[in-house]
Amino acid sequence: MKFYSVVVSLLSAAVVADGFGISLQRSRLLSVRSGSVSLSSTAEKTEGKKAGDDAPPVNLGWDTHKAIDEAPETLVREEDGPDGNYPMRAKMEKMLREAQISITEAIAEIDGQAGFQEDCWTRENGGGGMSRVLSGGNVFEKAGVNLSVVYGSMPQEALQAATERGVDRAKGMAPGERVPFFACGLSSVMHPRNPFCPTMHFNYRYFETDGGVWWFGGGTDITPCYVNEDDMKHFHGTYKEVCDRHDPNYYKEFKAWADRYFKIEHRGETRGLGGIFFDDQNDREPEKLFEFAKDAVNNVVTAYGPIVEKHKDDEFTQQQKEWQLMRRGRYVEFNLVYDRGTVFGLKTGGRIESILMSLPETARWEYNHIPEEGTPEYDFIDACKNPREWL
């Protein structure tokens, strides 16, 4: 209970620290005419409409999401949300829906025992989502892949939670004004039972706010409990190939970004052994960024599946299982205190079960546990404190 209180306090501190003085700017603006997309550049921020008094409430609460038996053909509606790139919204949702189905089918096949339960819901002010969650499996203790389509208005401080720290996003807005937004994303965390099978996380998303502001973000990262050079070469190598197909600088940039982003500051170590991470991407045509996100999400199973298949039947000791649970504790710390998606979801009235789906069913904290030098556990901590190059 003491640790729970600390986590709640840290989360509150993170939200407060994240919540003031946020502003908004973009140098590239989007226009849509007759279903086509065009971009223009400007040195000044275009003043878009602001959320008025009749805008949807910010924090709708977890119980305002209406469960439905079957998801509609699309959760994107042209008349909802801020003015912007409706064709891209629909295209992103369709692509992510297809990825959700293909990934969950592949993971269920690897597990061989449990399937994914699907929950669908809608929100009164537009959008909704589909959660697919596997629990009690043979290989996976818990795995979830969530699709969300969200319309609403957010407080200016939520912009900071939605994107890179320090990005100026609400310039010219009066204090207290809310920002109309659209967001579509697919997020996942998978927690295997075996300590030699890594946890894996991915998230790919598309945002728009009023005034034609848009960006892509996302990434895939891996959190093992032990260092396995071959596994890391496979995982990172897969994503380097993906990156290289779109920009020769992407892998180096996004690998370093992941090492920075997934750092647990109060521990001085990363959550795991990295991958790729990117945000605020609108430096080229939306179609090109869309194709990169599509390529990346469709290579999740290619990067991760063979590693799980390789280790799912490895023998392990009780001590190794306890080490896995301690590393899961670190996972919980990062997600509750630092994770951008968690903070954004909590600030904008997201569905709580979906937001906290990323947490493992079991975790462990030991007082001042320090691995002995020369052990595999010590080597792993060293890799977390001093991020390595795997390729």
Amino acid at site 213: V
Rounded distance between C-alpha atoms, residue 338 and residue 391, angstroms = 28
Q: Classify the C-alpha dihedral 378-384-385-390 as positive or negative.
A: positive
Which residues are identified as catalytic? 201
Rounded distance between C-alpha atoms, residue 14 and residue 250, angstroms = 29
Amino acid at site 206: Y
Rounded distance between C-alpha atoms, residue 154 and residue 177, angstroms = 9
| Residue 297 and residue 205 in contact, taking contact as beta carbons nearer than 8 Å | no
Rounded distance between C-alpha atoms, residue 30 and residue 377, angstroms = 49
Contacts of 37 (CB under 8 A, 6+ apart): 30, 31, 85, 87, 88, 285, 286, 287
| Residue 57 and residue 183 in contact, taking contact as beta carbons nearer than 8 Å | no
- C-alpha pair distances (Å), 152 with each of 57, 123, 171, 263: 8, 10, 19, 30
Rounded distance between C-alpha atoms, residue 154 and residue 118, angstroms = 28
DSSP state of 237: H
